Chains A and B, each alone.
Chain A
């Protein structure tokens, strides 16, 4: 299984709602990532989890709250979002975060298209 899955595919929420995005991989990867991508732009890194611990937070507002319940699952909890948070949210995974040539590529999921009204 070389797939990263994300649910839901589309999400529309109001600014007072609480929702969650889910990401799953069964490749045995120990690093997982959340990216935000606006239209016609490259993905921007939000969070990195390494061995189920948060290792990088790219100064993301607290209305985005990541969670890694186990090595296969990554969630992104959303609360009190703004319309400018509307974007494609991508999850990715890689074998690990140690240096070395093997397994350093990231595999991406299909993304969740989020619209905040």
Chain B
């Protein structure tokens, strides 16, 4: 069975500080991995995805994530937080060979302090 774990349901950073949101997956076969962002009262927006082409993936809004097979991790980072980054972030996984069902992590609420 596949699962994805997000460590830290709430993360607070100061404006301009590094953002690090953690995601670990459990699978013997590298899955397809995604990060989505959800602003209040909105749908989910795709930030970036890993599909085995490159281990360092760059996304929108200055975010990037690195796939580390040895650590089964896909952490999301941004060098400098903006107030507009405050939102809920979901890591999600699709297993290769599945019917493209997304399994979501529990989410991390990012707060950016002035």
Chain A interface (Cβ < 8 Å from any Cβ of B): 4, 6, 31, 40-43, 45, 48, 50, 55-56, 90, 92, 94, 96-97, 99, 101, 104-111, 113
Contacts and interface: CB of A to CB of B under 8 A. Distances in A.
Contact of A101 (B52, B97, B105, B106): B52
B109 to A, nearest CB: 8
A42 B98 CA distance: 20
Nearest to B49: A105
Nearest to A94: B100
A101 B99 CA distance: 13
Given A40-B107, A42-B106, A94-B100, A104 B94 contact: yes
Nearest to B92: A42
Contacts of B105: 42
Given A108-B43, A108-B45, A55 B94 contact: no
B102 to A, nearest CB: 6
A9 to B, nearest CB: 9
B107 A111 contact: no
A56 B96 contact: no
Nearest to A45: B101
A46 to B, nearest CB: 11
B67 interface: no
A41 B107 contact: yes
Interface in B19-48: 32, 34, 36, 41-46
A104 B51 contact: yes
B74 interface: no
Given A101-B51, A101-B53, A56 B104 contact: no
B63 interface: no
A110 B45 CA distance: 9
Contacts of A107: 46
